[in-house]
Structures are given as C-alpha cells and as structure tokens.
Structure 1
Amino acid sequence: MNSLRIALIASARYPIMEPFAGGLEAHTWALAHALHRRGHDVQLFAAPGSDPALGARELPVRKVVLSREARADSSMPSGTWMQEHHAYLGLMLDLARHGEHRFDVVHNNSLHYLPVAMASALRVPIVTTLHTPPTPWLESAIQTPEICPVTFTAVSEFTASAWKATVPAARVVHNGIDTDFWRPGPGGDDLVWFGRMVPEKGPHLAIQAARTAGVPLRLAGPVADRAYFEKRVEPLLGEDAQYVGHLDRRRLVELVGAAGAALVTPCWDEPYGLVVAEALACGTPVCGFDRGALAEILTPDCGVLAPPGDVEALARLVPVAAGLDRRAARRRAEEFCSFDRTADAYTDLYEELMR
C-alpha cells in the first residue's frame, strides 16, 4: 500500500482532544491516528487546542477582524457562525491554491458546507462523510453545481437513506472504535449512561427509566447544554442516579466495563451511535430506544430496543439487557465495530479515487 498525503478537515467548533466533546471529535481523532499508523502522511485541520500528537494545523486559519459598521449591519450572524465561516473559507482557498502540490486527497470530516460548496476549486479528490441528518446549508452546497465533484460516505445505512434524495449513491462506511482500547470489563449491578448532556441524547429519560427499573445509574459526559442540564437532569440526580463528570477515555472504559448494561436514550434519529459500539466493546449489553441507526449495530444477543421515548418499556427491558451474554456483546464489537474496518474502507476509497 502506497503512502498517501491526506488533508483531514475536522470540526472548527471543538478541539480534537481528550476528553472529547462528542462522537464526531472522537471519530476524527481515531481516524487520524489509524491513518498515521498505516504509514500515511495526515495533515489535520482542526480547532485550536487539538491533540499536539496529531500535528494539527489550527482553525481558524486567519482570525476575521470586522469593522464596527460590519458588525452593526442587520445581516450580521452570530460571532461563532462568522468565525467558522471565515475559517473554512480561508482553508478552502488555501487548498485551492496549493492543495494539489501538498495532498493526494482531501477528507472533509466536518459538518460545514463550505468544503462541499468549494470542492470544484480543488484539483485533488475530496471525500465528505455525512455524520448527521440532512441540513439545509449542506443540501444547498451539494445542489449548487450541475454535478457535485465530491465523493460522499455515510456513517450508517440509516444516514445514507436519509440523504438519498440529495446524495443517491453515498458509500456506507460505518464508524468504528479501537477495540484494543475499549476492552471488556467485569460488569456489575449498576447501569451506565454516557454521552453529551444535551436534549437530543435524553439523559433525563435514562434516569427515569433506571429509577422505574429500580437499578442505580451513573451518568458521564460533557455538559454541552448547561440550561438543559440544570433544568431537566440535575433535579433528577440522587443516590440512585449520580453524575460522575466528563471523564477521559481511560476512566470511561472502566466505568462502562463495570456496568451491567448501558442505557442509550436518543430523542432524535441517531445517525450512528458511537456509545453503542463503545459499550459493546466493553462487554456491556445495550438497552436503548429504537431510533436511527441503533438497530444496525445491535443484534438480539447483545442489546434490546424499546419504542422511541417509551420510558416504561425501556425500564422493563433493563433486566433483559443485563442478562445478556457479555461475551456476545464483545464479539459483536470486534466483528462489526472495529476501527480497523473503518480505516481500511477509507484507505481503499482514497486509492480508488486516485486511479
């Protein structure tokens, strides 16, 4: 396999650094490391504060300085929106000018529309991974040229189907995890919930289900929505439902591996569900809501699914999940969720596009 020069574009919103802000950041970090281990030269473009071991070039590329008159204009968007727009605009212009001399392929792993909208200005192949349901800005960028020059992948069959009207031929490359790092634990009597503390992840529903089932729950993850956490989650906490903080991956592996089952409570159509794969790798069966791509990952011997939002049904399934074979959960992670499969699929795609 030839060594490739890969430009990997990450989110400008959060650094690619432990403890990760979310699944997208964790996935980008893992992909960069996996490609490095395969001998490829990877230049990561990411938010300030990203892992120095990745040799990231920081976004924003150049800080935008706006006049008082521009800031006062009625069309002025939020400061965050403007900073991200400026960062990706600068990056894409730089890649358009110099990219063909520095890279063999560009992989856009961000959620921003500009890498797609400006893809025709590049002289190297560009891959964009679809991590979310369709967004208006990205759909518009895809439809702007008569033929969009971007090769699209989707993180699940569910996500590919959601984008089918705009991207009829997205190649499915399931997200993966490092199954050597996410190792089996001994299990235990308690339940675990982990992820971002935001409404769409539904940690308040996990607390209600665990309490209804009469099983203690420990929750971990970044408080990404402080107002939601203080209003909907914090009042439900107690001795039987404890928030243990935003843990690094090593402590998270220990927490998840010591649980009898993991609750996964999406209140939106989960495009993939990285926490499901991480729980299975720890040998911890999953008890979740049947939304999005969860049914693609789980099989009956490693997880159970309740109707979306049905807390009572989820509670009834807790003892079923806790009684599943932990070896089957681990086996499913090794066979379906290994990051080696993910990295190999992307490497094969890069080489295919260069032929």
Structure 2
Amino acid sequence: MEIGISTFVETTPDVNTGKTAPHSQRIREVVEEIVLADKVGLDIFGVGEHHRKDYAASSPAVILAAAASQTDRIRLTSAVTVLSSADPVRVFQDFSTLDGISNGRAEIMAGRGSFIESFPLFGNDLQDYDELFDEKLDLLLKLQASEMVTWSGKHRPSINNRGIYPRPVQDPLPIWIGSGGNAESAVRAGILGLPLCLAIIGGSPVQFAPLVQLYKRAAAQAGHDPAKLAVASHSHGFVAETTETAADKFFPSTQQAMNVLGKERGWGHYSRASFDAARSFEGALYVGDPRTVADKIIHLRKHVGVTRFMLHVPVGSMPHEDVMKAIELLGKEVAPIVRSEVAEWEKTL
C-alpha cells in the first residue's frame, strides 16, 4: 500500500487575512513539502496542472524537477497532466527529463481535466474534448513504447520516423489514467492495461468499488493480468494531532474553495454540516488524527481495492506550517499503521 500527497498549489486568499500568497512563494513552499514528504517516508507526491490565477502549477514537471535533486526515494508524478490540451511529445520529453534528474522516479498521470482554461489557451476546441484525449493518449503511449515514432492523427501534425529524446531511466516510463469516476475512463484504462487513479472527493468511497471491478474486468478481457494493475485514490484530507484540531483547521479554506467552485459549476452551498458529514467514516474526507485517517485508508483498501492513497492537501490556501505538519504526521504515523495492518490483512486472503 503506497501513501502520498497530491496538491494543486492553490493561491486563493487566506480566509483570515484576505491576503493571497504570490505564485512564486507557493511554488517554493511546495518544493519544501515534497522534500519533507520524502524525508518522512512517503511514497509518492503529485502536482496537478492548472492554468488559472488561483493555482500556481501550470508546469508540474518543472516543480517536481526542482524537488527531484533534493529527494532520494519518493516518486514524482503529475496529478494530472491535462493531456487533451498538451503536446504529448513535450509531455513525454519533460517527464523523461524529470526521470533522469530523479534517477527513475517520474510518472505521468494523464487526464482530460475538469478545468477548461487550457483549451482556449493552447488553441483547442472544447467540442473535441473526448477526441483530443483519445488521440493524444494514443501518441503518448507510442512515445512510451519506442524511441523512433511514426504517427498520424487529426489534431496534431504527423510524426514520420522521428527519434524522441531524452529517453527515460525507467522502461517504460509509468503512465497512469486519472479519472473523476467516469466508467468510460475506467474501461479505457483497463483495456490499455494502464494503472488508474480515481478522484474520490465526494459521496461514499465504497461506491467506487463497482468502478474498480469494471476496470479489472475490462483489463482481463483485453488480456491483462488485473492483479498486476494498480488503483489509486486522490482524496481531500488533513491530519492533525487531534480530530477536532484537524477539522477546525481544514474546514475554513475547504469551504471557501468549494464555494468558489460551486458558483462556477452550480453546486449547492458548502456548509460545516456538509463538511462534517463528509468526514464521517463512510465519507470522502480523510480528516482527523492519525488513527482516524489510517482507519479510513485501510477501509478504502479493503472495500474498494485501492493500492495507492494520495491525500490532497491543502484545499484552498492554508498556512504552510500546517500543511507541513500534516505531511509529517501522514508519513511518520499514518503510513506505518496502514502498511502494517494492510500487510497483515493481505496474509489472510
């Protein structure tokens, strides 16, 4: 069971002061967070790509590369790369470069993206949303498989027997599919034999179990061994010394961020009652003391089949020292409990 962190490097106004940290400050803070995550024994750190004012990470590979030379073992991934609006060749080159700097610790998590700002920014038509992803994923997988590439498609100029460099340390460079819970995405990942990361950020996580089963059936029918395929969860949460402290610190920025997005997407008001319901044992928020968070992750492993858990923190803007403390507790206290108890449970299977 792998445990780690994901972040969107948010730069929303502080709920207490109203001040917004500069993008440069948040980027430097996230590098510190990655270094700490490595130090406390976490397995993975993911940085998500966005192209709007309230997020500082338009280039995850560059941020991850800044941390790569300061870390030793932690794996470094996008979470996600918005592949539909990106050039797959450039994505592969960037992450191959990251793989070289980190000596084989880079991963790509490719997704269609739930934010659309990158489409007009890079000259893509939203009407081609699904077609763009399918075509660009096809090219990305060809780049992964071979140094010399010949490829043609509708939305990008053709490639005729061109070499793609640098080549990664890992062969192949890991490519995950990131999904918000779409059955089509799960089936696609299964057919291709790619690991799947689910954004489990609402409802009951156990409701994702049928989707994981669908993914594995699709993989088996396509000739892949489902037992060898990893499934990850990206879920909002926060760890503190006590559950009450964790909830009180995490709620204000989460409420602010969720209500900003809610206005854009037509969601209802996000209240403390909504928050408290979501942090119940069956809810999708992993907020609490180390034992509480560990128990929820173990439950997710047993009942959904997730083999990698990525705690998404912060949601909105929180004090950097609070985020650092949460990372420390996740690595030093939560992860050992989860790894030990999952290992014992697996012996009984």
TM-score (normalizing by structure 1)? 0.34
Between Structure 1 and Structure 2, the one with more helix by share is 2
TM-score (normalizing by structure 2)? 0.35
